[in-house]
Amino acid sequence: MGTDVVFSDVLIIGSGIAALSCALKAYEEGFNVVIVTKGKRPEDSNTDHAQGGIVYKGNNDSEKLLINDILNAGAGATNPEAAKIVAQEGPNLVKEILIDKVKVPFSRNEDGSLDLTEEGAHSVRRIIHADDLTGRAIERSMLKYITEHTNIQIYTSHIAIDLLTLQHHCKNPIYVYRHPECLGAYVYSIKEGKVKRFLAKATVLATGGLGQIFLHTTNPEGATGDGFAMAYRAGVKLINMEYIQFHPTTLYHKDAKRFLISESVRGEGAILKTPDGKPFMEKYHPLGSLAPRDVVSRAIHEEMTEKGYKYVLLDLASYMDPDRIKARFPHIYETCLKFGIDITKEPIPVVPAVHFACGGIKTNMWAETEMKRLFAAGEVACTGLHGANRLASTSLLEGLVFGDRAARRIKKKWDELSQDFPEPVPWVDTGEYEPDPALIQQDWITLKHIMWNYVGLVRTEKRLKRAIYDLRHLWWEVEEFYRKAKITRQLIELRNGILTGLVIARAAYTNRESRGCHYRKDTQKN
Ligand code: SIN
C-alpha cells in the first residue's frame, strides 16, 4: 500500500464526546485507534460548545422517572429501548468515565456534593454541570486523559470526503452482490493539500451536527452535516431527519452570532416575557418557561409573528441574586456584557435558533448501521432516543453511552470484522481549477436562507416544495463544480451541507403530521 494510506483497527471520524468515549473504550479493549477531525485543534467539536450539562442522578430520582421524561419530551416517537439503555447505563458511565477516570471538574456545593441543576421538562434536578461551560470541561478532560494515558493517534485538519465502500471503491465487479461494507474513508489533509485513504476494520462516524446549514444556529462553524451526507451518499439509511430541534433562547444582538443562553438559566428561575415585560408561557403550557423546547420555541415564534416583536425577553435579573448569577453563569454573563447587556440588571433579548438534529443515521442499540463495519454515535446517529424532540442535557449522555457501546460491539464482533478485507482503490484527482471562494460563499448564503425560510420552525407544503426544488438545483450545480474544482475544506462542507439540507427538506415534505419539533402549519396535529 502507498504512503497515502493510514491503516488502523478502528477509525473514528469526529472528536466530540461520542468519538472520545468510543476511542477510549476501543483502546482499552486493545485496538489500534485513529481519530480524524477537520478541526485545527482536537477540541474543535460541538461537545466543546455545550453549556448546560449532562444528566446524572437527582435526589429521589430513578431510571423510571428519567425514562418517562425522555419519552414525554420525544412526543410519542422515542424508541423506548434506547431510553431504557441510556437511563440504565448513562449515569454509571458518567461516574465511571467522566467523574472517576478523566476527572471532569464538575461544579460542586460547599459540602463537596455535585451541584444539580434543572432544565426544561425534567421532573427533578438531575443535571450536573461545570459552571456554564460543561461541554468544554468534558471535552478537554477526555482529551487530556487520552493524550496522557493512551497512544490513540489524532489527525487534526483532516476532513473526511467520502466513506470507502466495497460496492463503490473496489475493483472486483462481483462485490456489488455482497452485503454493503465500509472500508474506511477518503480523507483530505487540509495542510498537506492531498487526499489519503484511511482504512479500518471498523469505522465510526461521530461527526456531530448540522446547524450551520441554517441561517441561525447555536452550533459552531464545523457543524455542516458532513456525516449525514457521507452516509447518504454511501447508501446508508437516515431516519427522522425532519425533527430539527430549535433552542428557544439565543442572544438577539446585531453583532452576536446567536450565542446560546443555556436552558439552565430558565432552570434556575428565569422567566420568558414579552418586550413590554409580561410573562407569556403559562398560556402555552402548564410548565411555563420550563416547557419542552419545541413548545417554548413555537410559543416565542407565535408571540413574535403575531405581535411583530423582533425578540422576546428572558428575565433572570428579577429572580436571582447578582453575585449568584455571576458565579453560576460566568460565561453567559461575560459574553452578554461584551454586547452591552448586564444580565444581573436587565433581561436578555432572545430568539430561537437551530440547535440539534434528533434524527440521523439509523443505528441499532449497539451503534451499528445497516452497513457492515460502519458504526455511528452521537448527534449524527439516530438511536431513536430523542424521538421527535430531545430532552435537554441528554445529547452528551447519548454520545457517551453509544460511543462506548460501539467499541464494545467492535470487540464482540472482532473475529468477523478482522476477516477478508479488500483494498479500495486510491483517490483519483479530477480537480482542474481552484474553486472560486465567492461562489462557495454565495452558495452557503443561499442554502442557509432556503433552510431557514422554508424548512424552519413552521413548515408548509408550499415552502417545502420550493425548498426541494431550489436545493436540487443547487445540489446539481455543486456536484458539477466539485468534480472539476480542486478539493478544499469549504467545498467539501458545502457539498455535504446541501445534500443534508435536501434530505431534511424531503423528510419534512413527506411527513405531513406535526409532531414534536416538526411543525406543519398546513396539516393536522398528531
Ligand atoms: C443548554 O444549555 O440549553 C443546552 C443543553 C442541551 O441542549 O441539552
Contact call for residues 333 and 345 (beta carbons, < 8 A) = no
| Biggest CA pair distance of the chain | 70
In the reported structure, the alpha carbon of residue 428 is separated from the centroid of ligand 1 by a whole-number distance in angstroms of 42
Name the residue with the closest Cα to ligand 1, atom 7.
392
Q: Is 238 exposed, middle or buried (0-12, 13-18, 19+ CB in 10 A)?
A: buried
Q: Which of 266, 293, 463, 515 is catalytic?
A: 293
Domain boundaries, the chain: 5-242+358-417, 249-353, 437-510
Task: Compute the distance between CA of residue 132 and CA of residue 261 in angstroms, rounded to an integer.
Answer: 9
In sequence order, what E strands does 233-332 have?
A: 238-239, 244-251, 271-273, 312-315
Within 6 A (CB) of ligand 1 lie 50-52, 262-264, 392-393, 395
Burial of 492 (0-12, 13-18, 19+ CB in 10 A): buried
Ramachandran region, residue 118 (left: φ > 0; alpha: ψ -120 to 50; beta: rest) = beta
Our mutation pick for probing the ligand 1 site, out of 262, 379, 391, 400, counting the most ligand atoms within 8 A of Cβ, is 262
Residue type, 520: R
C-alpha cell at 415: 473475529
* Cα 47 to Cα 399: distance, rounded to the nearest angstrom: 9
Per-residue pLDDT of the chain (526 residues; tens, 9 = 90+): 445 999 999 999 999 999 999 999 999 999 999 999 999 999 999 999 999 899 999 999 999 999 999 999 999 999 999 999 999 999 999 999 999 999 999 999 999 999 999 999 999 999 999 999 999 999 999 999 999 999 999 999 999 999 999 999 999 999 999 999 999 999 999 999 999 999 999 999 999 999 999 999 999 999 999 999 999 999 999 999 999 999 999 999 999 988 999 999 999 999 999 999 999 999 999 999 999 889 999 999 999 989 999 999 999 999 999 999 999 999 999 999 999 999 999 999 999 999 999 999 999 999 999 999 999 999 999 999 999 999 999 999 999 999 999 999 999 999 999 998 999 999 998 889 999 999 999 999 999 999 999 999 999 999 999 999 999 999 999 999 999 999 999 999 999 999 999 999 999 999 999 999 999 999 855 5
Beta bridge partners of 178: none
DSSP H or E run through 153: strand 153-155
User: Of 246, 316, 355, which is best to mutate to test ligand 1, by the most ligand atoms within 8 angstroms of its C-beta?
Assistant: 355
Please tell me the distance between residue 134's alpha carbon and the centre of ligand 1 in angstroms: 10
Give dist(CA 494, CA 391) in Å, integer: 30
pLDDT confidence of residue 278: 97
Name the residue with the closest Cα to ligand 1, atom 4.
52
Query: For this structure, is 293 an active site residue?
Result: yes
76, 109, 120 from 262: Cα distances, Å: 25, 20, 10
100 Cα–ligand 1 center, Å: 23
Tell me the residue length of the chain.
Answer: 526
Architecture in CATH for domain 5-242+358-417? 3-Layer(bba) Sandwich (3.50)
Architecture of domain 437-510: Up-down Bundle (1.20)
- Mutate which of 47, 49, 51 for ligand 1? The one with the most ligand atoms within 8 Å of its CB, which is 51
Kindly provide the residue ranges of all beta strands, DSSP E only, lying in 275-332, ordered along the sequence: 312-315
Q: Are 219 and 394 in contact (CB under 8 A)?
A: no
The predicted pLDDT at position 224 comes to 98
- How far, in Å, are 120, 210, 211, 335, 448 from residue 251 at the CA level? 18, 20, 16, 10, 19
CA dihedral 453, 456, 458, 461 (to 10 degrees): 70
Q: Residue 2: what pLDDT? A: 47
CATH number for region 249-353:
3.90.700.10
C-alpha cell at 115: 451541584
